[in-house]
Amino acid sequence: MLVAAFAGAICGFMGVYVVLRRVVFVSAALTQVAGFGVVLTFYLQSLFLSSLVSHIDPFIFSIFVTVLAALFFSLKKDYMPISMEGVIGFTFLISSSLIIILSDKIVQGHHEIHNILFGSAVVVEPDEVIIVPLVSIIAFIINILLFKDFIFVSYDSETAQLYKYPVKYINLIFFIVLAVILAITTRALGALTVFSLLVLPALSSMYLSRRLIIIFILSAVFGLLSAVFGYFFSFIFSLPTGATMAFAASLIFIFSYIKHELFNNS
Amino acid sequence: MNELIKLDDVSIGFGKTPIIRGIDLTLTSGQFWGVIGPNGGGKSTLLKTVIGLTEPLAGSFKIKEGLRFGYVPQHEKYDNLFPVSVEEMVTMGRYSMVPFSKKLKQEDREAVRISIEKTGITNLSNKVFRELSGGEKQKVLIAKAICGNPDVLVLDEPTSSLDLKGEAEIMSLIKDLKDELNLTVIMVSHFADTIRKYADSIILVDKDKDILLNCGIDDAVSNQHIKRYFGLQS
């Protein structure tokens, strides 16, 4: 539950940027890439059991490929003539299809692959109990230190450029932080769950507040609550954990929407 | 009058496609420069090139060292999804003095307060930017632009979405700030009358005729291209 709580909180927090920057599907694509990283490691290990490949940690490799994809997204527009949406769609589709193709070829690791796609978090690896909270805390610290810069570049990149801010460098840091979070949380909670925790708490908090800082705080709290309640109720009612977390986040979103409609349009 | 910006045989454009070639232009301090021309004629591209947001495609381009710009883009460019408050918006203008990863100091907060006061938007400071009227948004963007103590105030069609009363209010504010803060102003507009009324010098940009004229307001009246643009000659 500790892993789920930290993962929910940091996904909720980062999700506000994802929604405000209108890069929701970048996160969907990156979660698929993270899943693909794990599946590819298992596949390579099944091919070369006795070689060095068998020592590669799926976790580390997943972070590596997700960061690569994030770098690609943050630098893309400088050299490709097609739209960002096209690149995101391509990345999402090729990662998803490769996950399905490769997982069909793997005998070992079926359980893990299922968890990546649909989420588990019931039993996490011992290293995840340390890594997920640790990386989440580091990500929060980076966000607090660079809050002004992330907001400035996200909202008004033209003025930031005029004021000689290192816009590309700041975007690079943002996407790397996002990629690392997605890679570690996808392994722990699954792609569907992580995507839900990125998008739904942010949307819910935007219904409830018009103050930027409050939106970030509410979104982190909603992410945490979705993960914790999802975990708790999946345990009580023997439901799939990842899907229950996504459903909890959906319920918060529905309540936020209803509250907004009742109190803001009257 | 000091030379602030000098363009020598400069070509400007989108990507690698030139819109206007062979621009020779020298902008001096203390003037109100009005940039006029038809839509899509290259006014905004020239503006962005002058302040260094867009690289010129060719030619020599010099800016006086240490020159600070305050930039007022068209307010439609800001994404309404962001719930940024007026105070937060103006504070971003101060980031020219607060580099990457540094925090705002008390003097920066004070500069934000003064900018808000000077532009007469104190009553709006806690409101959300996206919920303001067009005229209010322009005032906020002007407050943001002057917050970083600029030498040059650069405005991209600041009155395009306003009625006559709103336009007069914004133009009067710009003129007052120019005098009070000793600013050089470069303003793009497709309203020739506005420019004629307020500007000291006129730059006419027209890609179709491949011309870029630069002259004082008195000379402009006798210049046939500008007269034609103002509708003074058929």
- Among A108-112, A153-157, A219-223, B81-85, which range has the highest average pLDDT? A219-223
- Measured between its terminal Cα atoms, the distance across chain A in Å is 39
For A8-38, what is each residue's pLDDT tens digit?
A: 999 999 999 999 988 888 888 988 898 888 8
Which chain A residue has the Cα nearest residue B68?
A: A163
Q: Give dist(CA A186, CA B146) in Å, integer.
A: 45
Between the CA of residue A248 and those of A238, A254, B216, what are the distances in Å? 15, 10, 66
Interface of A with B (CB under 8 A): 19-20, 22, 145-146, 148-149, 152, 154-156, 158-163, 165-166, 170, 206, 209-212, 215
Cα separations in angstroms, A220 against A10, A129, B42:
6, 19, 45
Three-state SS annotation for B1-20: CCEEEEEEEEEEEECCEEEE
Taking the domains of chain A in order of start, what are their residue ranges?
2-195
Q: How far is CA B191 from the centre of its chain?
A: 14
Residues of chain A in contact with residue B88, where contact means CB-CB under 8 angstroms, are: 212
Q: B111 with B94: CB under 8 angstroms?
A: yes
Of residues B83, B99, B103, nearest to A212 (C-beta): B83
Contact B77 A212 (CB under 8 A): no
Mean pLDDT over the full length of chain A: 85
The number of beta carbons lying within 10 Å of the beta carbon of residue A152 is 22
Q: Tell me which of B55, B63, B90, B92 to substitute to probe the interface with A (most A C-beta atoms closer than 10 Å).
A: B92
CA quadruple A6, A12, A13, A16: dihedral, nearest 10: 170
Cα dihedral angle (A162, A168, A169, A172), rounded to 10 degrees? 150
For residue A266, pLDDT beyond 60: no
The pTM of this model reads: 0.85
Residue B160 C-alpha, separation from nearest chain A C-alpha, in angstroms: 20
Per the CATH hierarchy, to which homologous superfamily does domain A2-195 belong? Answer: ABC transporter involved in vitamin B12 uptake, BtuC (1.10.3470.10)
Question: Is the Cβ pair A155, B79 closer than 8 Å?
Answer: yes
Residue A90 CA to its chain's centroid (Å): 18
Distances, alpha carbon A105 to alpha carbons A39, A100, B53, in Å: 10, 9, 51
Distance (Å, rounded) from C-alpha B135 to C-alpha B129?
12
Shortest distance between the Cα of A184 and any Cα of chain B, in A, equals 26
Q: What is the mean pLDDT of residues B58-75?
A: 90
